[in-house]
């Protein structure tokens, strides 16, 4: 039996620039937590999404796409009070992205803990979210409430910083608020750029140690196409193999999804403390997570680009 992976937060439409026709944008389902839920489901795991859909053509499309890929949406809700968020994504020659968001207002910002099913917390699980659920005070309060309830019920909490500065009213992520969320997480994923921004002028290794001061956490810092650095009871680095990059959209989410999928399989059989001391298991998990991210980079889009279990294990 595996632990369900509940991914909470934004679900939106990515309008991706067609690399063959720069003036043309194609519609894809997206949103980092939604991508992670699909990544888990496509690998054969219990990927579940928690969030709000707009009662518009885009909201209907998103829910249908999630369910098409095997994501459980029973904890989702619908609203007519705001439209579905949109993101226009331009690609450079290396397949790297720049974003233009139409959010807020947006339906995903209106989800509250009152929308959760009554029996939501009864079964042990992993709760995953990212900093895009902190950009508005109401959704930030609900995010911290979700984390607190998860911890009260013995769930593990996973946070991918996933900083998108242009989603914040100030044009820059609130580093202190993001750090507050990270300090409550058991599983943390950062990029090297995010680590630099959040640690600011502090020594980065010391800043990471401060995150781990009060919790037994596993922190992973990705350095693009270079390497992945892991910090728990022991620290190590793994290389990232070179691949031909078509589109980096959802590559980080594929990494996180494969990581959480493996944790969901392992933790019913092994305690969290034991896993944090098991360097060989950690290395295997992250090697497989890197593979998932690399496979995703070689395809265009988000949900459709995430690897299936067959592709991942080939």
pLDDT tens readout for residues 259-294: 999 999 999 999 999 999 999 999 999 999 999 999
Transcribe 73-92 into DSSP letters. Answer: -TT-EEESSSPPPEEEEEE-
Whether residue 307 contacts residue 42, with contact meaning beta carbons closer than 8 Å, is answered with yes
**pLDDT, tens digit, 9 for 90 and up, residues 40-81:** 999 999 999 999 999 999 999 999 999 999 999 999 999 999
Considering the four listed CATH numbers 3.80.30.20, 3.40.1190.20, 3.40.50.300, 3.40.50.2300, the one that applies to the domain covering 5-10+31-78+110-313 is 3.40.1190.20
Q: What's the per-residue H, E or C state across 187-206?
A: EEEEEHHHHHHHHCCCCHHH
Question: Which tens digits make up the pLDDT trace of 194-212?
Answer: 999 999 989 999 999 999 9
Candidates 147, 227, 226; CA nearest to 187 is: 147
Distance CA 221, CA 230 (A): 6
Contact 278, 236 (CB under 8 A): no
Confidence class of residue 94 from pLDDT cuts 50, 70 and 90? Answer: low
């Amino acid at each position: 039996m595996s632990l369900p992976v509940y991914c909470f937060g934004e679900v939106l439409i990515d309008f991706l620039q067609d690399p063959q026709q720069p003036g043309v944008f194609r519609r894809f389902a997206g949103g980092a937590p939604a991508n992670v839920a699909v990544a888990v489901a496509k690998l054969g795991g219990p990927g579940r999404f928690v969030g709000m859909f707009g009662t518009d053509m885009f909201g209907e499309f998103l829910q249908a796409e999630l369910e098409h890929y095997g994501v459980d949406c029973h904890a989702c809700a619908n609203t007519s009070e705001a439209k579905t968020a949109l993101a226009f994504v331009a690609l450079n020659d290396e397949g790297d992205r720049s974003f233009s968001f139409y959010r807020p207002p947006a339906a995903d910002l209106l989800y509250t803990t009152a929308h959760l099913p009554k029996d939501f917390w009864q079964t042990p699980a992993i709760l995953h979210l990212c900093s895009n659920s902190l950009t508005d005070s109401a959704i930030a309060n609900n995010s911290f409430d979700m984390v607190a309830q998860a911890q009260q019920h013995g769930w593990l909490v996973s946070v991918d910083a996933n900083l998108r500065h242009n989603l914040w009213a100030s044009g820059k992520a609130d580093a202190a608020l993001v750090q507050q969320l990270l300090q409550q997480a058991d599983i943390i994923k950062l990029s090297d750029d995010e680590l630099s921004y959040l640690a600011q002028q502090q020594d980065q290794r010391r800043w990471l140690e401060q995150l781990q001061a009060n919790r037994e956490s596993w922190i992973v810092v990705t350095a693009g196409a270079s390497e992945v650095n892991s910090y728990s009871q022991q620290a190590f680095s793994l290389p990232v193999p070179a691949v031909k990059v078509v589109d980096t959209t959802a590559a980080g989410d594929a990494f996180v999804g494969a990581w959480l999928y493996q944790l969901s399989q392992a933790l019913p059989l092994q305690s969290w403390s034991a896993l944090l001391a098991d360097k060989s298991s950690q290395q295997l998990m992250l090697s497989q997570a890197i593979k998932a991210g690399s496979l995703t980079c070689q395809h265009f889009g988000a949900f459709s680009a995430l690897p299936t279990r067959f592709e991942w294990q080939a």
